[in-house]
Amino acid sequence: MQSGNTLLDHLFRRAGFGASTADLQAVNGLSYASAVDYFVDFDKQPDDVDSKIGATDSVGITSRGPFSPSTAIDDARQLWLFRMVHTRRPLQEKMALFWHNHFGVGYSKVAGVVGAVEGTKMMANRPGETPGPPGHYELLRQKGLGRFRDLLIAVAQDPAMLVFLDGRTNTKAQPQENFGREVMELFTWGLGHYVEADVYAAARVFTGWNLRNVPGANAQDPAAYREFVYNANQHDTTAKTFTFPISGGSNTIPARSAAAGVQDGIDLLTSLANHPETARRLARKLWSFFVSDLDAPDSSFVEGAADVYLRNDTDMRAVLRYLLTSRWFTGPSNVNARYSWPVEYVVRAIKEIGWTGFSVDSARVPLTNMGQTLFEPPNVAGWQLGRAWFGTGAMLARMNFAATLASNQKFNLARSFSTGERSQPDRVLNGMLQRLTPAPYETNETTELLNYLNASGPWTGSDAQMNAKAAGLARLIAGSGEYQFV
Partner 1 sequence: MASKVTRREFIRDGVAAFTISFAAPAFLVDIARAQGAVSRNLVVIYLAGGNDALSTVIPYNDPFYYSRRPNIAIPAGQVLQVGTDGAGKAVGLHPKLTGLQTIFNQGHLAIIQRAGYQNSSRSHFQGTDIWGTADPGNPSANGWLGRYLDTLPSPIDPLAGWNTSGATYRALTGVNLSVPSITDPRSYSFASPNSGAEAIAERNSAIRLASLAGNRSNLAFVNTSAIEAFATLDRVGAVVGYQPSVTYPNNGFGQALKTVAGSIAKGIGTRVYWVQTGGFDTHSGQGNAGAGTYGNLMTTVGDGLLAFHNDLQNQGLLNSTLMIEFSEFGRRITENGSQGTDHGAGGLMFAIGGAVKGGIYGTAADLNPKADNPTLENSGNDVTYETDFRSVYAKVLDGWLGADSTAILGGNFRTGAPTFI
Rounded CA-CA distance 70/48 in Å is 17
| 103 alpha-carbon distance from chain centroid | 11
Query: Is 339 near partner 1 (CB under 8 A)?
Result: yes
Phi, psi (degrees; rounded to nearest 5) at 206:
-95, 10
Query: Is 258 near partner 1 (CB under 8 A)?
Result: no
**Which of 91, 199, 211, 268 contacts partner 1 by CB under 8 A?**
199
The counts of H helices and E strands in the chain are 25, 4
Site for partner 1 in 358-377 (CB under 8 A): 368-369, 371
> What's the min distance (Å) between Cβ of 10 and partner 1?
16
Judged by CB under 8 A, the stretch of 16-24, 71-79, 139-147, 464-472 that binds partner 1 is 464-472
**Sign of the four-CA dihedral 157, 163, 164, 165:** positive
Query: Is 174 near partner 1 (CB under 8 A)?
Result: yes
Task: For partner 1, give the closer residue by CB, 270 or 372.
Answer: 372
Judged by CB under 8 A, the stretch of 17-25, 219-227, 241-249, 474-482 that binds partner 1 is 474-482
The DSSP secondary structure of 116-137, one letter per residue, reads: HHHHHHHHHPPTTTSSSSPPHH
Q: For the purposes of burial, counting CB atoms within 10 Å of the CB of 265, is it exposed (0-12), middle (13-18) or buried (19 or more)?
A: buried
> What's the min distance (Å) between Cβ of 59 and partner 1?
17
Beta bridge partners of 230: 209
Task: For partner 1, give the closer residue by CB, 116 or 381.
Answer: 381
Phi, psi (degrees; rounded to nearest 5) at 256:
-130, 160
Beta bridge partners of 228: 211
**Which of 7, 8, 116, 395 contacts partner 1 by CB under 8 A?**
395
> What's the min distance (Å) between Cβ of 452 and partner 1?
4
Task: For partner 1, give the closer residue by CB, 79 or 186.
Answer: 186
**Which of 296, 391, 423, 462 contacts partner 1 by CB under 8 A?**
391
> What's the min distance (Å) between Cβ of 383 and partner 1?
8
> What's the min distance (Å) between Cβ of 385 and partner 1?
10
Query: Is 468 near partner 1 (CB under 8 A)?
Result: yes
Which letter does DSSP use for residue 179 in this model? H
Query: Is 165 near partner 1 (CB under 8 A)?
Result: yes
**3-class SS string, 220-267:** CCCCCEEEEEECHHHCCCCCEECCCCCCCCCCEECCCCHHHCHHHHHH
> What's the min distance (Å) between Cβ of 268 and partner 1?
18
From residue 292, alpha-carbon distances to 47, 98, 100, 307, 410 in Å are 29, 14, 19, 20, 34
Amino acid at 283: A
Secondary-structure percent of the chain, ordered helix, strand, coil, rounded to 5? 60, 5, 35
From residue 243, alpha-carbon distances to 15, 144, 254, 261, 262 in Å are 38, 30, 14, 20, 21
Q: Where are the alpha helices (DSSP H) in 130-218?
A: 136-143, 148-156, 159-164, 178-182, 196-205
Q: Fill in the per-residue mask, 397 to 416: x = in contact with partner 1 (CB under 8 A), - = not in contact.
A: x-xx--xx-xxx-x------
**Which of 56, 191, 249, 419 contacts partner 1 by CB under 8 A?**
191
> What's the min distance (Å) between Cβ of 401 and partner 1?
9
Which letter does DSSP use for residue 380 in this model? T
SS3 label, residue 50: helix
Judged by CB under 8 A, the stretch of 141-149, 163-171, 258-266, 327-335 that binds partner 1 is 163-171
Q: Fill in the per-residue mask, 77 to 116: x = in contact with partner 1 (CB under 8 A), - = not in contact.
A: ------------------------------------x---
Residue among 86, 79, 94 at smallest CA distance from 26: 86
Query: Is 217 near partner 1 (CB under 8 A)?
Result: no
Query: Is 232 near partner 1 (CB under 8 A)?
Result: no
Query: Is 458 near partner 1 (CB under 8 A)?
Result: no
SS3 label, residue 59: coil
Provide the binding-site residues for partner 1, judged by CB under 8 A: 113, 165-166, 169-171, 173-178, 181, 185-186, 191, 196, 199, 294, 339, 368-369, 371, 378-381, 384, 387-388, 390-397, 399-400, 403-404, 406-408, 410, 439, 442, 444-445, 448-449, 451-452, 455-456, 468, 471-472, 474-476, 479-482, 484-485
